[in-house]
Structure formats: C-alpha cells, structure tokens
Structure 1
Amino acid sequence: MRLFLLFVILCGFYNVAYGKVSLHIDMKLKALNKPALKTIKSEDGDIIDCIDIYKQHAFDHQALKNHKIQMKPSVEFGTKKTTTKKNGSSEPITSQIWSKSGNCPIGTIPVRRVSREDIRRASSPSQFGRKTPHRYSFLDKALQHKGHFNITANQPKRGRVQNRSEAVLIALGYNFVGAQSDINVWNPPRVQASDYSSSQIWLLAGLSADFESIEAGWVVNPSVFGDSRTRLFTYWTKDSYTKTGCINLLCAGFVQTSTKFALGAAVEPVSSTSRDQYSITVTMFLDPNTGNWWLTCADNVMGYWPGKLFSYLQHSATAVQWGGEVYSPNVFKKPHTITSMGSGQWASYLWAEASFHTNIRIKDYSLQIKYPKYLSEYSDENDCYSTKLHRKTYMSEPHFYFGGPGKNRFCP
C-alpha cells in the first residue's frame, strides 16, 4: 500500500510538472507561429508560413509597439568592387530550397514554422533559440588602446566563457557603420546534437560584460532545427546574451521585409572538397537617417534590427569579427567535441579545402567601403580550429581561411 501511495504521489508530481512544461510550450508555439495567409511545404521537409508583414514577431517587443516599419533602407551600403585579383572564384547562392515549392505574396514574409519537437529539445521554452552568456574582454582593451591593438599578442587574456570556441579575423575601431564579406558555404561534418557550428560576421559594441551584437551567416544547429542542414541565420543581443536576443525570429526584435529569403531555412548548394565552391554575400550596415541596422544576404534586402533595441549600437560598432564559432559543452575539455568548424579542414589547406571569408570590407564614418587597415587573427583553440589570412599573390584579394576538425590527436 505504501509503494502504491508513493507511486500515486510521484505520478501526481510528474503530471503537474509535465503539464506546466506542456503549457509553456503551447504558449511559445502560439507566440512564434503567427496565422499564415499562405503555407508552403518545402521539399526538404520545412514548412514555410507566409505571414502578414505588419503582424510579424518583431512587433511583440515592448519597445516596438508603435514602430513604423521601414520597407527599404534610405541609403545603400554601396557597390562592392574588387580591384585585386582573386585566389579563385565561388558561385553566389541566390535562393533557398523552399522557394522551389512556391513564393510568398507581396505584403507577407516567409517564416519557418516551429514544431513542438523543436522547443522540447531546448533546456526550457524560454531558452529556445538563445545563446548562453558570453564575454569579449578585448572590447575593454580596445577602449584603453584607442581602438587598435594586437589581439594575437594578448591571446591568454582574451577572456572567453568556456562553452564556445571561435576562429576569427578581428577589426577594432570606434566608428564602424557597416561590414561585409562573401562567406564560403559548407556543411561541416560531425556536428553533435547538443552543439552548433557557424560561419558568420559579428558587429559588436559596448563593454565586455554588457556588449551588444548583431550577427549573420550560416549555421548547422541540431538543437534548434532538429537536423544537420546548413541554414541562414541572424542573431542579436544587447546584454552579452544574458537576457535579450535570439536566433532569427524566435523572439521579438528583427524586422523582416524580404519575401524571398526565410531566416532558418536551408541553404543550397554547399561547397565540396576540391570541387565547386559556393558563397553567400552578407552585409550589415547602419542607416544614418533612422538608426536601424540593415541586413542583406545574396544582394537581397532581408530587413533590419531597429535602433531602439540598442544603446551602443545606435551610433556605431567598435569591433567586427569574420570567421566561425563552435558551441559545445565539450570545448576546452578532454575529450574535446568532434564538432567541426567550417569545412572541417585546417585553414592551411586553403582554396577548395578550407572554409573562407573573402571580399572582406568595412565602412566607417568616412563612408568609404574599404579593406580594414588593422586586422588580428585569433583562435581560442589553435590545436582544434585554426586561422590563416592569405593572399595567393601580392595583388590577390585576401582570403581569410578558418576552421578545423575539433577533436584530433593534437586536440584530444
């Protein structure tokens, strides 16, 4: 009888706890999956909902309740011109898989539908699509050194939280109002279920303990998307990932205007070793007339992060990063995660082997698009993921190669 009563009590506690979690998931699904005016079933299994542009997720944010949507930037980043020879050429990606099955009508935006299983994979519904807190101590050092110093020489003091490993090229300054690159697209092998691997651009401002960031590129993230496809993504935070921000449209913030690209949808084709290389051009820039940060992907205007979301980034960024990131509970540990970065090959393997950023450009208050004057390479774990800024000849366009296999004989 005692065992039976104990069993009944435990079942009761379980049902209450499960019921609360299920209720939270239902509330999250209702907030994320807005009513669709049209639904498109992609051949890769995704469901794309075309929702009213004026009823999108961004306007659930308290600061954007009376926000008037800006349909296009009042200025352009500018024409990207390469005056130097290239090390090789990559084909630009101009569409996504889902668009083969249909198009969203004018006045709507395409949004990848979130499933109950997607949210269940998160540690909690409130953490779904969010990064863990982070620090960038070099932001403080940049202020002390008036914007420019050699990060590579200060590697031991860079101040990383021990769950992310980056291999990046960094430009520091006071007044970046835009950044751009052609990001080589791969599908990194062996990305573990609890990890993610990205190739992206970051624009950062503020102090290390409370920085603001806007980010974009591609990612393989099984915990959010439930598979190992390469997907387009954005991210933002105004408090070093502590309480604000999220990936794509999984919280209120980013205002999408594009009908052609869906954040979180798969990107194809991807590059393969010693064969065709593919890239996607990503640009982020500040509209000086509105204070909004605009994002374009593959020459398609995606939308913007409203300036009202930020404090430091209302004016400019103080740092730009190009490169890759691996999140895992097993970085800086033994055994190390086997999740790879980029192509999974070392940066020294170069063209058609290693992943890269090229046509790397910034814009500052001079309003000139330029190759950054001061750059530093940095890798958190040199034996796991590597970097190499390389020119084939003196006149060639620089390529920033990065990535690696994760766990290997040097990174046990």
Structure 2
Amino acid sequence: MGKLNVSMLFLTLVLSYLSDRANGKINFKELVDAKLKQLNKPAVKTIQSEDGDIIDCVDIYKQPAFDNPALKNHTIQMKPSFNLKEDKSRTVNGSAKLVESQTWQRSGSCPELTIPIRRIQRKDLLRADSIDRFGRIPQETVSKSNTTNQKDGRFLFINNTKIVLPTVENESAAMLVTLGPDYIGAKGDINVWNPSLSFPDHEFSTAQIWVKSGPADVYESLESGWAVFPNLYGDKKARLFVRWSANSSIYSGCFDLLCDGFIQTNHQVALGAAVEPVSSVSGQQYYITIGIYKDPQTNNWWLKYGDDTPIGYWPGSLFSFLTHSSKLVEWGGRVYSTNVKKSPHTKAGMGSGHFASGLFGKACFIRNVAVVDFSMQLKYPQWVGTWDDEFNCYTVYNDKKSSATSPAFYFGGPGQNPQCP
C-alpha cells in the first residue's frame, strides 16, 4: 500500500508539472532557446568539423566578451606590445612533438577579422546540471583554515618558507608551485593525454597553468591547458581550454568564451576544440605550449599558444589583484569530482592516469617551465615547491638532473588504488 501511495504521489507531481508547462508557467524550451541565442553569435561562416563540432566564424567585434557592459567602449588590442627573451640553452630529455593543429581545421578555416567559436548545441545544454551556470564550475568552497596540509601534517615549503594552500572541495590537484612578488607571466610545454573518468557526467580532468593573485578565499585566477570534460564538451577528448575567475569563481568567470570576459583576436585557433594527436604509453609524446603574460602597457593578460601565437586576452579591467601582477604560479593537473578527498575515491585519472614515478613516456609532464617578471625575461623560477592534495591518489615529481638539462615536472595518477581506497 505504501508503494502505491508513493507511485500516486509521483504521478500527481508529473501531471502538475505537465499542466504548468501547458499553461505557460514553465517553458523549458523557451529557456533553452534563449540561452542558445545568448551564447551563439551570428556567423559569417560555419564549418562542420569531422569530429561533430560546429565552428562558427564570428565577427571579432560581435564576440561574447562585448556582452559585458563594462567593455561596451573597449577597443580591441589586436596584438601584444611586448617581446619576451627566453633562455633555451638547456637540453630536454626525451623526444616529444608540438601539437600544431586542431581537428576542425581539416574541414575549413575562418577569415581574418573573425574568430572561430565552437557552437553550443541544444544537447550541450540538456546535459548541463544548470542552464544558468552552463560553462562554469560548480561553486567552489575555499577555506583559509581547514586546509588539507594542516589535516595531514604536510606543508608546502618554498625557499624554506612554509606555505599553506587552501582546500578546494571536490577538487584534487598535483602541482609545481612558485611564489613571488611580481610575476607577470608564465609558460610551459604541457604533455597531452586522454585520462579516463569514473563518472563522465560529473567529473573532469585537466593539465594546465594557473596564474593567481589575491587572498585565498577571494583569489583571482587565469588558467589554460587541456581538459577532458564530457559534461561540457560532450566527449572524452582532450580540448584546449581557458578559464578565468574572480572571487575564487564564486561570482564570475567561466570556461572559454561562455561568458563575457576573454577577448579573442586569433582567427585560426578555437577554444574548446579538440587537440590531437595525444600521447600513448611508451609511444610518441605530444605537447601543447601555453603562455599567459601581462602586457605592461595595457594591463591586459595575453594567452599565447603553440609557437608563440597570440590567441587573445583578458582585459585588465576584469580584475583587482591581477591588475598589477601575479603572486602565485602553478603548473600541473587537477581532477574535479564529488568523489575526491573521500572513500570510495573516484577512479578518474589525472594526466596520463599513471603516477609521476613513471617519468617520460608514461607519466604526464610539463617542461620548459618559466616565469617572467618586469625584466621581461622568461626564466626558470628561482624557488619552487611541489604539492599534491592526495599523495596516495595522485603524485608529483620535479626531475632536475643537471644544470645543463631543463627540469621536467611529472604528475598524475589513477585515483582509486590500493593506497587510495
């Protein structure tokens, strides 16, 4: 009898919902249509990619960034005003190839003064947990006092100084970290893989660079690298991403061009598009080069990709702490899941899905790590430290063999294993 009552209650709720829909009180279709119209701008040209993506070539002056009222009178900076000097005298161990193309480029190209934007389709919104927050990470909870390193007795040390990193719920990170007063840029060659996920609808895995500034509970962050994020992108491919946040992503920021922030200037590279080929265990290794740099003349933060190619920038007006410089730079990976920092732990892989001890050909690496300060000279950080939130699940290793060899940072792991139940 109890089961019958529950069934009748469910049927009543369904009929009530359908009645409200019919009476116009709830119109989900209109909500989705309005969001699609907001996200997808009119195209000058459309390209159907062989991997299922649709790329719209959008007038550079009609891109999503200009939905922001604060950028209404913004004049696009078409290229950076700076040139950086880099010391590449040290050799690197192991042969790896730079990824120079994206899948969609085999199907066409966008004309100059347009930018390629990956079209958001109805199925993308229907996958999302929230249409309103589509393209954003679920709100992060950051704590100053309740930190992972305080709980387990471990601390990060940089130049013999103890650094307490804040806990971010639902996120596990493995990083190379440097702390300084005036960083205005960072770069690295990021090894590309396709890690597996336990719950693709609710997890993602990245390999990336973070440029941060501000207090732990309201920090500002610029990020870029590759991400495997099925809930956002609809598949398990590694894709080029950017993300920015202010107030620790509580109120602002998003991935790629899914909110009014990042201004793209490049007509050849699409944010959110697949990166290929990817690396294989004991096989050919591939990498992408990511650089994030502040323009001292404009205070805009530029993203460069591949062989020093400018993609676009975050206007300095979006930020408070990052207007001057960055205090913290991180290189490495993260896994976002509701099943990190608990048992049973997710089996979501970070990096290649192998521990850092696997080294070249097995573990994910970031090499040619560099920072830049107001001297405009790219150089390896003077002081670095390594950190992993869950050292039994994901590990780190900074491999510095000699002064003649460029250090390589390795990170990653499988998640759940006998030491990480």
Q: TM-score range by the shorter chain?
A: over 0.9
* Distance 1:16-1:287 versus aligned 2 partners, 3 A rule: farther
Report the CA distance between 1:16 and its aligned residue.
6.8
1:348 aligns with 2:392: no
| Equivalent in 203, 226, 229 of residue 218 of structure 1 | 226
Q: For residue 115 of structure 1, what is the aligned residue in structure 2?
A: 121
Partner Cα separation in structure 1 for residue 24 and residue 337 of structure 2: 28
Partner Cα separation in structure 2 for residue 5 and residue 188 of structure 1: 44
| Equivalent in 264, 277, 280 of residue 285 of structure 2 | 277
Q: For residue 200 of structure 1, what is the aligned residue in structure 2?
A: 208
CA shift digits 1:368-411 (9 cap, x unpaired): 21100111100000011000000244521100000000111111
Q: How does 1:161-310 map to 2 (within 5 A)?
A: 161-190=168-197, 192-193=199-200, 194-299=202-307, 300-310=309-319
1:334 aligns with 2:343: yes
Report the CA distance between 1:152 and its aligned residue.
9.9
Report the CA distance between 1:107 and its aligned residue.
1.2
CA shift digits 1:263-305 (9 cap, x unpaired): 0000001011111111111001011111100001112210000
Q: TM-score, normalised by structure 1?
A: 0.92
Partner Cα separation in structure 1 for residue 167 and residue 267 of structure 2: 38
Partner Cα separation in structure 2 for residue 264 and residue 107 of structure 1: 20
* Distance 1:136-1:150 versus aligned 2 partners, 3 A rule: farther
CA shift digits 1:103-133 (9 cap, x unpaired): 0011100000001121122221121111222
Aligned 8 A contact 1:191 1:197 in 2: no
Q: For residue 35 of structure 2, what is the aligned residue in structure 1?
A: 28
Report the CA distance between 1:17 and its aligned residue.
9.1
Partner Cα separation in structure 2 for residue 62 and residue 329 of structure 1: 35
Aligned 8 A contact 1:347 1:388 in 2: yes
Q: For residue 48 of structure 1, what is the aligned residue in structure 2?
A: 55
Report the CA distance between 1:243 and its aligned residue.
1.2
Partner SS state of residue 407, structure 1: coil
1:99 aligns with 2:105: yes
| Equivalent in 394, 397, 407 of residue 398 of structure 1 | 407
Q: For residue 3 of structure 2, what is the aligned residue in structure 1?
A: none
* Distance 1:17-1:171 versus aligned 2 partners, 3 A rule: farther
| Equivalent in 19, 22, 33 of residue 26 of structure 2 | 19
Aligned 8 A contact 1:204 1:317 in 2: yes
Q: Which shows bigger deviation, 109-118 or 385-394? A: 385-394
Report the CA distance between 1:81 and its aligned residue.
3.4
* Distance 1:269-1:53 versus aligned 2 partners, 3 A rule: same
* Distance 1:296-1:387 versus aligned 2 partners, 3 A rule: same
The amino acid across from 1:204 in the alignment is K
* Distance 1:79-1:40 versus aligned 2 partners, 3 A rule: farther
1:316 aligns with 2:325: yes
Partner SS state of residue 86, structure 1: coil
Partner Cα separation in structure 1 for residue 299 and residue 29 of structure 2: 39
Q: For residue 133 of structure 1, what is the aligned residue in structure 2?
A: 140
Partner SS state of residue 203, structure 1: strand
Partner Cα separation in structure 2 for residue 185 and residue 224 of structure 1: 19
The amino acid across from 1:208 in the alignment is A
Report the CA distance between 1:20 and its aligned residue.
3.9
The amino acid across from 2:331 in the alignment is W
The amino acid across from 1:65 in the alignment is K
* Distance 1:135-1:272 versus aligned 2 partners, 3 A rule: same
Percent identity, please: 47
Q: For residue 144 of structure 1, what is the aligned residue in structure 2?
A: none
* Distance 1:12-1:374 versus aligned 2 partners, 3 A rule: same
Q: For residue 383 of structure 2, what is the aligned residue in structure 1?
A: 374
* Distance 1:16-1:64 versus aligned 2 partners, 3 A rule: farther
Report the CA distance between 1:7 and its aligned residue.
6.6
1:124 aligns with 2:130: yes
Partner Cα separation in structure 1 for residue 321 and residue 49 of structure 2: 39
Q: TM-score, normalised by structure 2?
A: 0.90
Q: Which shows bigger deviation, 256-265 or 117-126? A: 117-126
Q: For residue 82 of structure 1, what is the aligned residue in structure 2?
A: 88
Partner SS state of residue 83, structure 1: coil
Q: For residue 9 of structure 1, what is the aligned residue in structure 2?
A: 16
Aligned 8 A contact 1:209 1:240 in 2: yes
* Distance 1:338-1:203 versus aligned 2 partners, 3 A rule: same
Partner Cα separation in structure 2 for residue 248 and residue 343 of structure 1: 23
